[in-house]
Structure 1
């Protein structure tokens, strides 16, 4: 793509500073300020992965949070529109699930035909031009999704979600949504004259929804490979007269090589001829930016390009607004892109003391639009369901047996035992697999479960278990139990014996894939390399990180059969755990894991969540490793069972650093 304009560096602070200096003074984007008579500036703004976080409020912690909220991102919309001659606003999916407001709307209020979801209220008020689907749109079922999205005053596009089996030609697929739309927009050129430009938007969802939401989609839908669908439909859009084609890709950036039905396919989507720009999402990361995608061939983290084409990923929960600015030039009767800039603009920053400083205020109109649902959600999450005799926290869930995981495992075992007690699997031992969902990482230093002793409310249960997964159980043997744990142990870097303060955690390994299995005892030998890679491929067959694995105090029999209670995501193959897939499922329960925890707590009245220390790290003399956790975890460090944890000072971006003495 040629560049006809040399653009000076623009930072968020310079833009906001220019705006703040005078309400009448707006710093125009250079494309808007310098466009020639046959040129025009078009700015396209993105939100992505909102997950019902309309308000800057953490319902789990029941307190405001300045790092999130569409009401904050919405304030950027007026600013960035003022910086541009012409602009459009899109959303890249994952709107309907992700916090208690989403659960309240799905489980308490419900969405009948004609109802208006608070997300739609907000988005309609902000004047979105187009949107696509995210994988979490399907979590509450197709009827709920359609009743909600029918309230949108803008088109929703998705080119790779079909109503049935895939056709031989993608263009013959029977789709749930339009694969694309071409919107004709009147734009002003550099001389102030108006003329139409035809902007095409095409959308994509991860094919893996067929695994993650099989209970809602099996027999009702199918998905096609993202790149395959794009190659079929982009020429059609060109023939239909699109001047500019924008891909709305609810799919992340993965540079490990293109594969069929790839989850994070945006890098390879960029290679499809005819696409001019790509908006990405799904991974809850930021692009362009200094760290999240460093080292991926074809991804320019400074310029913000994938295979040379402008691309943006705008964080999550409204944390950023993605901006792609295009300089268009008239070529006969058609417009073409001749230059671009990209930016992911955050709604907050941290000062030198690492304190969060909001860069924008709430947009009052959006706050007013969702006031009723916000207040109803607060009442919903504050309902008490029981008591806990000890604190529930997840600050050390990745380094020691943990009370926040223990209570989930206890509830799952209790529930599955009841369902199987009169059936063919009643005599099999029941194990339970559970993972920490709130364990810091990319979501920040406050992203941990922390429930004091005393009353437990629904908000606390939602805090323990973030997702509306349903309970399932699989039947596997002892060897497969070991491999399940070996895959989980990919959470850790290799720590050579005698080394000092080696980084402990593999930052590429998501915490929700770190399963602890209760009902057995075991140790993890960190001196060994990981047996499996992130895709579940056997890479070190001679390595055995899981040692001293026992059931009922005796070495586990590789051939013995076990029922393992888990969730629909893991049982269906989510996380690519070896040998764990739908063919192992022997129980598909009707209840969500969250509901089971609520019922368990309600039945007991008062729970004792103390961890039973059924796993630990194998001692490595003279060896230490370091990891980061929330600074509030310091009060619990000395009382953690089965691990010696020391305070090692401050970490980055508000985290505290801890030392694990091995």
Structure 2
């Protein structure tokens, strides 16, 4: 009951993400003999800061007593997360993660592949091709125009890895067929709106589709035909049977064999059925790792010393002559636009709330 802020008649509230709002429930109590009863209740998500000129401005002052009590632990935490674990030879950024193969997603797949290849080398799956699925976590959207990964070339610290991989997921490996690889990608491609050939400046991104469900699968190559409607909706329901947005899907330079077996590195959320991807569930899991994906990335960087996260452009949009689409991203995207080789892209003005708008010539 959103009018009364209640769940099953009980007062309820949720605090804001990143501590933006304090959840407050105010109860009016009345003594009834030997017991108390709730006469009325109000719920409120009280803001801790407000957005002014695209910056967070606190609505309450700091409590100096709490700052003093936590100072030593706070500084120790900062020292830990700022500790370098290796270097990156190229910048890591996610400004174009939803429209092109992306370095911030690439390094996650590289780490997952490195980790599982060693684990599976002496198992029955040692000769089964190993692919890796990863999605962009920081890709703007409702979290704002500053919500992007942006790590310059040079030292890479633990805090940067936490920025690359936000969630405490653990590594999983699933065994599926080539046909199921295609359906996995069909579900991922649901993040894009249908684009009508020959029309200009159509909205590209379906903002109801979460970026963490836009999996890119490394180890295969493919194109996405935006002239076709999505096969699956944002919740994994079959929306348009018989549709094929994923075209030219190839493995090892040849069209993928629908019956061939593949092992795909992913996380416990996806492997357990998170996102409702077709045929991807716990029954397909062949290995459950004790390590988090974030820890695996750290170990991969330490092992390599210097990583090269440059995207390999294994996916792209199928050409649609005379057609363009627009999307919004962070303002700092302009610093990296020259690095996009797989797209014909140009600035298209300012978006809302600090975002920048770009045009893709399909």
Q: Which residue of the other structure, out of 557, 561, 586, is the alignment partner of 2:286?
A: 586
**Is 2:108 aligned against 1:408?**
yes
| Structure 1 residues without counterparts, runs of 5 or longer | 2-252, 254-265, 280-312
Distance 1:423 1:331, change over 3 A: closer
What SS does structure 2 have at the residue aligned with 1:507? coil
The answer as to whether partners of 1:401 and 1:641 remain within 8 angstroms in 2 is no
Match of 1:464? 164
More strand by share: 2
Match of 1:612? 312
The answer as to whether partners of 1:328 and 1:335 remain within 8 angstroms in 2 is yes
Match of 1:31? none
In 2, Cα distance between equivalents of 1:633 and 1:460: 18
**Is 2:352 aligned against 1:658?**
no
Q: Which residue of the other structure, out of 228, 237, 241, is the alignment partner of 1:541?
A: 241
Match of 2:11? 277
Partner deviation per Cα, 1:348-380 (whole Å, 9 max, x = no partner): 3333x4344332222222222322221111111
- Give the deviation of 1:335 after TM superposition: 5.1
Partner deviation per Cα, 1:371-398 (whole Å, 9 max, x = no partner): 2221111111111111111101111111
Distance 1:543 1:372, change over 3 A: same
The answer as to whether partners of 1:611 and 1:641 remain within 8 angstroms in 2 is no
Partner deviation per Cα, 1:474-506 (whole Å, 9 max, x = no partner): 100000000000111111111211222222211
Q: Which residue of the other structure, out of 72, 76, 81, is the alignment partner of 1:376?
A: 76
**TM-align CA RMSD:** 2.3
Match of 2:203? 503
Match of 2:151? 451
**Is 2:264 aligned against 1:564?**
yes
Partner deviation per Cα, 1:133-158 (whole Å, 9 max, x = no partner): xxxxxxxxxxxxxxxxxxxxxxxxxx
TM-score, normalised by the number of residues in structure 2: 0.92
In 1, Cα distance between equivalents of 2:37 and 2:219: 64
Partner deviation per Cα, 1:394-448 (whole Å, 9 max, x = no partner): 1111110000111111111111111111111111111000011111122222111
Match of 2:17? 316
TM-score, normalised by the number of residues in structure 1: 0.52
In 2, Cα distance between equivalents of 1:628 and 1:362: 34
Match of 2:45? 344
The answer as to whether partners of 2:113 and 2:131 remain within 8 angstroms in 1 is yes
Q: Which residue of the other structure, out of 514, 531, 550, is the alignment partner of 2:231?
A: 531
- Give the deviation of 1:582 after TM superposition: 1.0
The answer as to whether partners of 1:330 and 1:336 remain within 8 angstroms in 2 is no
Partner deviation per Cα, 1:284-337 (whole Å, 9 max, x = no partner): xxxxxxxxxxxxxxxxxxxxxxxxxxxxx4321210123455667788987554
The answer as to whether partners of 1:536 and 1:577 remain within 8 angstroms in 2 is yes
The answer as to whether partners of 1:347 and 1:359 remain within 8 angstroms in 2 is yes
What SS does structure 1 have at the residue aligned with 2:238? coil
Distance 1:276 1:408, change over 3 A: closer
Aligned length: 360
Q: Which has the higher contact order (CA 8 A, sep 6+)?
A: 2
